[in-house]
Amino acid sequence: MRLQGRIFFWNYGGTMETRIAIVSIIVEKPDAAAEVNNILHEYANDIIGRLGLPHRQRNIGIISVVIDAPHNSISALSGKLGRLDGVSVQTLYSKSGAGA
């Protein structure tokens, strides 16, 4: 097949395989909280649940997000969050990749 400058995306199964992951976020700079929420809103369709806890003595926020999405979407979410100043992120993936 000759592509002639076109990009083709093949999806043989009709749906993209998804994974379950937990994204753990620590917001150490309160000014970053609004941007964290904006980024999470971008992925709202993939988010199963979210738990946010303030730690008032240390003035930080702790957020756990459970997500069911393709691996590249989860990585993109984690990457965007991790690039924010004052935000630490770790992602834990389920062992099973069978989804969607």
Here the CATH number for the domain that contains residue 33 is 3.30.70.1150
- pLDDT reported for residue 6: 44
CB 29 within 8 Å of CB 87: yes
Residue 35 resides in a domain: yes
Full residue range of the structural domain in which residue 89 is found: 19-93
Residue 82 resides in a domain: yes
Of 49, 70, 69, 52, which Cα lies nearest the Cα of 61? 52
- pLDDT reported for residue 35: 98
Q: Which helix (H) or strand (E) holds 39?
A: helix 33-42
The pLDDT tens digits for 74-99 are 999 999 999 999 999 999 999 876 55
Residues of the chain with pLDDT under 70: 1-15, 97-100
- pLDDT reported for residue 17: 87
